Amino acid sequence: MTHRLEVAEPGGDRLDRWLRRQFPDAPNREIDRLLSSGQVRVDGKRAAKGTRLASGQVVELESLPSSAEQSAPTPQPGELEVLFEDAALIAINKPPGMPTHPLAAGELGTAANLVAHLAPECALVGDDPREGGATHRLDTGTSGVLVFARDSQSYHHV
């Protein structure tokens, strides 16, 4: 289903910035994904993120961006070895076979789900809400230390 929005503001704004104002709960990464995958058109033509908009133009989206709340890891109780914890970070020992974070909303059994149960504030930290504050990733089959940030400042300084 195509969603159509008309630009009502005076012209000159960049498409990516305009979309972020239209969907303030959507993560920046989600807006960027829609733009780079060609799911956004202006007046019927595929548009780049830097496209300048004019009043009266029509922006079409093939799908609406998901919000951070829809994509964030679902808190899930389970066994998790916490190696370090303070007000800014949580470091865990991820066992082999466990994904770092969900690939889709509602997916369970990931390190991010278990951390979100211990520290719910992590679930909404980071550039991609699915990652739940994870400052890096490990392959599913790899074991090792994962570090999760509890706030945006810590996330951007790790």
Using alpha carbons, select from 135, 3, 136, 126 the residue that is nearest to residue 71.
Answer: 126
Q: Kindly report the number of other CB atoms within 10 A of residue 106's CB atom.
A: 9
81 burial via Cβ count (<10 Å: 0-12, 13-18, 19+) = exposed
What DSSP character marks residue 69? H
- Told to judge if 127 belongs to the known catalytic residues of this protein, a careful annotator would answer no
Contacts of 119 (CB under 8 A, 6+ apart): 90, 133, 148, 150
Q: Which of 25, 127, 139, 151 is catalytic?
A: 139
Query: What is the amino acid identity at position 89?
Result: L
Read off φ and ψ for residue 71, nearest 5 degrees. -100, -15
Q: Residues with catalytic annotation?
A: 139
